[in-house]
A = this chain, B = another copy of it.
Amino acid sequence: MEGSSVAGSQDGQIASPRRAPSQQRSRERVERMLAAASALIAEQGSDAMRMGEVAERAGVSIGSLYQFFADKRAIIWALAERYTAESQACIAAALAQVSDAEGLRRAFSELVDIYYGLFLAEPVMRDIWSGTQADKALRELELADSRANAEFLTAVLKRLRPAADPATLETTALLIWQMGEATMRLAISVGRKEGDDLVAAYKRIALRELLDQQAGPCNVG
């Protein structure tokens, strides 16, 4: 977010932070490193990605790699940050204009489709979010990302239902969002057809909840 394309890593203990590239030359090299890492993750998964291979493919030495990234996770983190920033902007744009129930229905449906497409199309994002995150820091980034995304949903709900309890709306939005991500993960790990069905079912369930917020269950006794 704040111009930090390079990160030190953390897992409770702080690893030595790294220099941010200040020259044009090194900025380009860092880009090549990230591109190489992205390609390797797409091919083999982040777990099988080797730092030496990243360096080789980027045309730099292993030492240069570690000049800008504190450790292996820092590279994955940097890539993840890019995706989250990108998708957050997309989500904010989709939900910003919503002012009524029908608008929410359309925007949410479209949003889910876009997200689903992203999951299907981006091997790197898929890998990073799909369980290869043996990493506390990454999980926390994911949680922060979920919260930020849910925030947009909360804002819409508050506009549509000003009388409702704000805390409840926040909980609902976070849950709906988290459920959506779980659905995506499930959907991409099963066949395409079953995945589509699952996403459609999620849409239905989520929309029912989002649009019918104030009512209790319908015909349950």
Q: Which residue numbers of A lie inside 8 Å of B, CB to CB?
A: 47, 101-102, 105, 130-135, 139, 143, 146, 167-168, 171-172, 174-175, 178-179, 181-183, 186, 189-190, 194, 197-198, 201-202, 204-205, 207-209, 211-212, 215, 217-221
A202 CB contacts on chain B under 8 angstroms: 175
For residue A190, which residue of chain B has the nearest CB?
A: B143
Asked if A175 and B189 sit within 8 Å, CB to CB, the answer is: no
Asked if A178 and B174 sit within 8 Å, CB to CB, the answer is: no
A221 CB contacts on chain B under 8 angstroms: 101-102
A189 CB contacts on chain B under 8 angstroms: 139, 143
Given contacts A133-B134, A168-B201, A175-B183, 11 further A-B contacts (CB under 8 A): A101-B220, A101-B221, A130-B139, A131-B134, A175-B202, A175-B205, A205-B205, A205-B209, A207-B220, A208-B220, A218-B218
Q: Is the interface of A mostly helix, strand, loop or mixed?
A: helix
Number of copies: 2
CA A134 – CA B133 in complex, angstroms?
6
For residue A45, which residue of chain B has the nearest CB?
A: B136
Among B178, B183, B219, point to the contact of A212 (Cβ < 8 A).
B219
CB distance from A106 to the nearest CB of B (A): 12
CA A220 – CA B215 in complex, angstroms?
11
A135 CB contacts on chain B under 8 angstroms: 131
Asked if A198 and B171 sit within 8 Å, CB to CB, the answer is: yes
